[in-house]
Copies of this chain bind each other. A is one copy, B any other.
Amino acid sequence: MATTTIKDIAKALGLSPATVSRALQDSHEIGEATKKKVKELATQLNYQPNPYASSLRKRKSNTIAVVLPEVADSFFSLAINGIEAVAKDKGYHVLIYLTHESLLREEAILSEFKSGRVDGLLISVSEETTSGTHIKKVIDEGMPVVFFDRECDDVPTTKIVTNDLESSYLATTHLIKQGCKKIVYLCISPSLSISKNRVNGFNKAIEENKLTHSGVVACDKHFDNNIELVKKILSGKNRPDGIIASVEKLTPVVYLACRDLRLSIPTDIKLVSFTNLQTSLILNPPLTTITQPAFKMGEKAATILFKHLDKKKAALQNETIVIASELFIRQSSAKK
């Protein structure tokens, strides 16, 4: 953008840029007549001070960044709304950056935060992020960071998570109580801490109840591949009688695979999904869900970050705050 610079004003008035800069900042080193002349021309030329230079001076940009994998998932869009609700009250801008599950993009985005672009960072890491070295680096450089949902074990800061292990255990024991004996757990992004916790909760319930023919199946990112995979699982010997879809985007996959095979949910297969979709209750049949406190998690992460920014404390506490998910029982897991 061809904006007016201090240099332009200096040239037009035959002054040095330093004099113009000081005049614009009302420095006592500059005479009133010069100040008046500079300010008038600045107004005429629509001069805008560079907020980044100014934020470097003040070490403050009044902006926080939210870095997350995607927005085409209701958990993240609701979490953003929770974050923005707090930021709005504080008069902060929120910059949203998407990693699209790529560690390389996450690193590139974080390297943009040097030099005062943002005052703080809320992050939910990509599925490729198995170590938080790049996050520790920005913390070491003075940036306060709070994790929400997907975190890195090796980064000592505040983390807002939900009880993934317990809620996955709860979902699995619910299906067992409803009569399921062969349960398949559909998994994506197995390297994430939240995925591991959910798998552990599932395995715990399966072991406690000594179920055989139950286990974890890895899906990929392609809708059509996943439909084929689920149809293959449901067409084989020892057909499962229960499915846990560990992420939202697997929900339509299971419904459509069952429809193609003319299998009835819940008569043939019972289903529980991890999802925040508002349409869960108008699906055919209505879906039993583990619903994460997405808005609250975003709100809490932002509240802690702003409390820190207000107090300008040295470092955020290395603590993990757990907000519980809820099991909503609906028709998709009803007894026959």
Contact = CB atoms under 8 A, between A and B. Distances in A.
Given A95-B96, A142-B2, A255-B282, A117 B52 contact: yes
Interface of A: 1-3, 5, 46, 48-53, 56, 59, 70-72, 74, 76-78, 80-81, 84, 88, 93-98, 100, 105, 108-109, 112-117, 141-143, 249, 251-252, 255-256, 259, 277-279, 281-286
Contact of A98 (B49, B96, B114, B115): B96
B96 A96 contact: yes
Nearest to A114: B48
Contact of A71 (B51, B53, B71, B117): B71
Given A50-B52, A52-B50, A142 B284 contact: no
Contact of A115 (B52, B76, B95): B52
Given A282-B284, A284-B285, A59 B2 contact: yes
Contact of A53 (B1, B53, B98, B109): B53
Contacts of A3: 114-116, 141-142
A114 to B, nearest CB: 4
A304 to B, nearest CB: 18
Top 5 A-B pairs, shortest CB-CB distance: A284-B284, A52-B52, A96-B96, A1-B142, A255-B282
Contacts of A117: 51-52
B80 A98 contact: yes
Give the number of times this chain occurs in the complex, counting copies. Answer: 2
Nearest to A259: B282
Given A84-B98, A279-B283, A283-B279, A115 B51 contact: yes
Given A80-B98, A251-B279, 14 more contacts: A1-B113, A1-B141, A3-B141, A3-B142, A50-B52, A51-B112, A70-B81, A71-B80, A72-B74, A72-B81, A88-B105, A249-B278, A277-B279, A283-B283
A284 B285 CA distance: 7
Given A52-B50, A84-B98, A95-B95, A114 B1 contact: yes
Contacts of A98: 80, 84, 94, 96
